[in-house]
Every structure is written in structure tokens, then in C-alpha cells.
Amino acid sequence: MRPRKKGQQYEICYRCPGYTKPIYERFPTYEAANLRGAQIEYEKSIGEFRPPKQTPIQTKRAQKKFITVSELLDEYVQVYGLNHWGDSFLSCNLHRIEHYIKPYLGNVAVKDLTTHDLDLFYDSLQDKPAVVLKGHKKTDACVSRSVIEKTHALLRSALNQAVIWEYIPSNPALRVTLPKYQPQERTVWSASEAQQALDSCTDPVLKLCMLLALGCSMRVGEILGLTWDCVDISEDAICAGTAYVRITKELKRCQKDSLAALERRGRSTVLLTFPEWKQTGSSTSLVLKAPKTSSSVRSVYISRTVAEALLELKAEQERQKEALHGLYEDYDMVIAQSNGRPMERRLVEKQFREHITRQKLPQVVFHSLRHFSTSMKLALCGDIKAVQGDTGHATADMATGVYSHTFVCNRQQLAEEMETHFFQTDMEMATDGEKLKKTGCNCRRKARAAGSSAGCGRVVPRLYHRKLFANCSQNAVHRKLNQQIQHGKQEKVPKS
């Protein structure tokens, strides 16, 4: 079995029992082909020869013995990412792969990648300039630690798949030491600051956006994607307190290539793609799509204030339609521009920033209103599942952990409660006689005047001390004792 040269490779040909056609194998060098031929002859001589394993789909990457990080990530996105990620997460991960992983680790063989290599990579990434996307303001900032953490999560997941695919025996990213990252807590207004922002807002569209975020705990994309067919603000519903909004979609600007990739896989959640009004060859599209999770599809009851604001805006839109006649582009959007076109997130956030700057309020982002709404509802009712139903979170931990914030007034009230119910009370196991002495109760003095040593001998919890002894006539023991004294029926207590 002599190897024959075929182009730039060497080929061997042999037959195997049970196969009608000969089997061909090719190798990059003559020595490798000759070694494989000797192996086949030896296995046939001892009766242990098996034909080569055939895989269902032979790809160039699967046939390669030494796959690189770049090739692994490409395969990871195609096989795993397109079947599990949404359009936004897909776009973000593609950005991190192209700008932060491939330029530095793309040519490294996966089997040669070590934990020490990754430690050095993440450490050096802190000194690299951050990639500025098109349309964003250029800064001289370096790669932030939050980006490094997200890049590590992506690379760790890809290497986990490499272990499953048997490219490597273990995942070197599991033992990496990342730069310390402390996420900052989101700034949230107090109740008075939120009320001031609402009262001082003169733009009806911006004010309604704020009301929906505060009253309904809606995301900004859900607010902008709300249509009139999902709103029940009839007079009967408002009077009965059953007016509601139904959240089934969101407005979002997405990358066209991500949308196309998901469309080819049959995983597109786009309901409507708006036309491009600016002919600039944009790489993004403005779409109405399903919410981010299935739990985000929900109905939220609205208060009378929010319902009345919706009625006023609907009447204003009807007047605009009549004024513009056929020029009004009616997409049935609740939040729309004066010509009917949808209002994008950047416009609302810009107006919101300008408004709070004019009012000299603490600088917060629009999403902070959703955090404030969640915290306020938890403080008002304490029903975690009801609040979770309004926010649309998949788990209650997200509502209570990430979105819940403590207001200063609540902490001040706790200090007052401690003063009232703890520091201003007696010892927990004090006798009633000592408590009556402290509170100035004269029931024992009355009993002594009637010739009795009777009195209160109960021990009560500290928390109820003030309540039980604030008014002796309200206490059963004192009331009975006073009745005995008044009627002259006080019994003599025998001395022990």
C-alpha cells in the first residue's frame, strides 16, 4: 500500500470487509500517509482492523486537529449563539468577539490556551482603548472592567462548548482571576423629587412617558412600543378601577445583520419593520418586536391619573390627524411624534435629561424611574408577587434584589420606631408592679387603701407595654380591680 501524490497531499487506498467500494484517505505528508498504511496492514494481520469513523457532517473546522480561538468563536456563534441568543445579545457578543477577543487571541490554538494566558490577556485589556461605535461620541477611555467581565463570560461559555465538542479536555477560563469590578448602584430619586419632576413637566408626551414608567413600572422600549389597541381606558373601566395597559411588544433599533441571521434560523420576533425615513444606508432598523422574555408579556392596571393622561393624549392625536389630513402617518402608536411616526428612545432620553437639568434635579437615567416604581410599590404593599407581575421580571429575586432601593425617609422612620418601642420601654421581663410604678399607675395605691395587697402581677412583652398601661381603665385586670374597690367587695388576701 504505497501512498500516491494527489495535488499537495498524499493518498492511500484500501478495502475493508463489508464495504463494496474502496476507502481513500489523504494526508499532508508522505510520512503520515505511509505510517497510516503500515497501521492498517498491522491491524488487518491481527484481526482488529476497523474502518475510519464517518461523521454526519464533515467541515473544515471539524477535520482540523488544531483549531484556533477565532475559528472556535465562529463555530460557537453559528452552532450555539444563533439558536439561543436574542438580537441584542447577539449584536453585543459579535462586537466583543471582533474588537476585543480576535485581535489579541484569534490566532492562538485552543489547546495551547492556558489560564495564565487569559490572566495576562484580561490584565492587558485594561490598558487598551475602548472601541467607539459609529454614531457614538469618541472618548479617550480605556476598556472598562464591566466590559472585561462580559468578555470573560462570553469566552468562558465558548470554551465550555469546546470541552463538550472534545476540542480540549478542560476549560482554562474557569480558574481565571479577573480585575476586581464593583458595579455601581443606580441612582434613584426620592418621592418628593419624582413628584417635582412630574409637576414641572409641560410636555404632554414626556409626562405620559414618565407616568407610565412610574405608575406601570414599564421599560422605555415597552412604553414607546405601546399601541392604542392594547389600552383599555373606557369610562366604565376607569370608574371601576379596572383600566389597564397590555404589554405585548417593544420598540427597538436593531442591527440588520443580527435580524437577518435570526430570520434565517426561524427565530425572528419582529412584528413590524418601520420604513427608513433617512436614506443613509443605515446598518440598523427600527422595529416593533416581542418583549425580551415571555414573562414581560403582561397586563398592568393603571391609576386614574395615568388613565386621564392617556385620554388627553389620544384627543390631542385626533386633532393632529385632522390638521395634517393625509400627511399623518398613523401606526396606532400611543407615544408618537406630531406626524405620527414612532418616537425613538434617544429622543425621549434627551428630552428627559434636558428637563431634569432645567429643574436642577439629581441626574438619573430614564430607566431609574422603573427602579423607583418598583421600590415604591414594594414599600406600599409589600406583596412581592404582585410587584413582580407589574414589572414583568422572570423571578422575584430580580425585583427585590436589583430593582428595590431603600428610601432615606423609611430608614429615618425605623430609627423613630426603635426609639418608641425599644429605648423608651422597660426591661422585657419586668414585673407589672415595676411597670405600673414607671407609668404612674395608681391601681395598687387604690388596692392598698381598700385593705388589699392585690394588684397586677402579669408580665407583658416589652412591645405592648405602652399600649397596655397607657390607660388603666382599658386593661381588664385594672378594670376588675377598680370595680371591686368601688363596690366595697374587695376580698382580703390571706397572708402566707
Contacts of 103 (CB under 8 A, 6+ apart): none
How much is the pLDDT for 379? Answer: 84
With 0-12 / 13-18 / 19 or more C-beta atoms within 10 angstroms meaning exposed / middle / buried, residue 75 is buried
Beta bridge partners of 251: 288
Q: Is the pLDDT of residue 467 over 50?
A: no
Out of 26-30, 57-61, 196-200, the most confident range is 196-200
Residue position matching grid coordinates 457532517 = 57
Q: In this predicted model, what pLDDT tens digit does every residue of 17-47 receive, in sequence order?
A: 777 788 888 888 999 898 988 888 888 888 8
How much is the pLDDT for 44? Answer: 84
Looking at residue 244, the DSSP 8-state letter turns out to be E
Residue position matching grid coordinates 381588664 = 476
Looking at residue 132, the DSSP 8-state letter turns out to be P
Mean pLDDT is lowest, of 153-157, 311-315, 447-451, for: 447-451
Query: What φ, ψ does residue 301 adopt, rounded to 5°?
Result: -75, 145
Residue 293 C-alpha cell reads as: 422574555
Contacts of 166 (CB under 8 A, 6+ apart): none
Per-residue pLDDT band for 397 (boundaries 50, 70, 90) equals: confident
How much is the pLDDT for 85? Answer: 93
CA-to-CA separations, 231 to 87, 212, 237, 294, 333, in angstroms, rounded = 27, 12, 11, 20, 11
Closest CA to 255 of 125, 93, 492: 93
Decide: helix, strand or coil at residue 322.
helix
Q: In this predicted model, what pLDDT tens digit does every residue of 330-376 receive, in sequence order?
A: 999 999 999 999 999 999 999 999 999 999 999 999 999 999 999 88
| pTM score, whole prediction | 0.71
Q: Is the dihedral of CA 36, 38, 42, 45 positive or negative?
A: positive
Residue 453 C-alpha cell reads as: 395587697
* Mean of pLDDT values over 129-154: 84
How much is the pLDDT for 304? Answer: 93
Residue of 249 and 467 predicted with greater confidence: 249
Q: Determine the Cα–Cα distance for residues 252 and 290; give it in Å rounded to an integer.
A: 10
CB atoms within 10 A of CB 52: 9
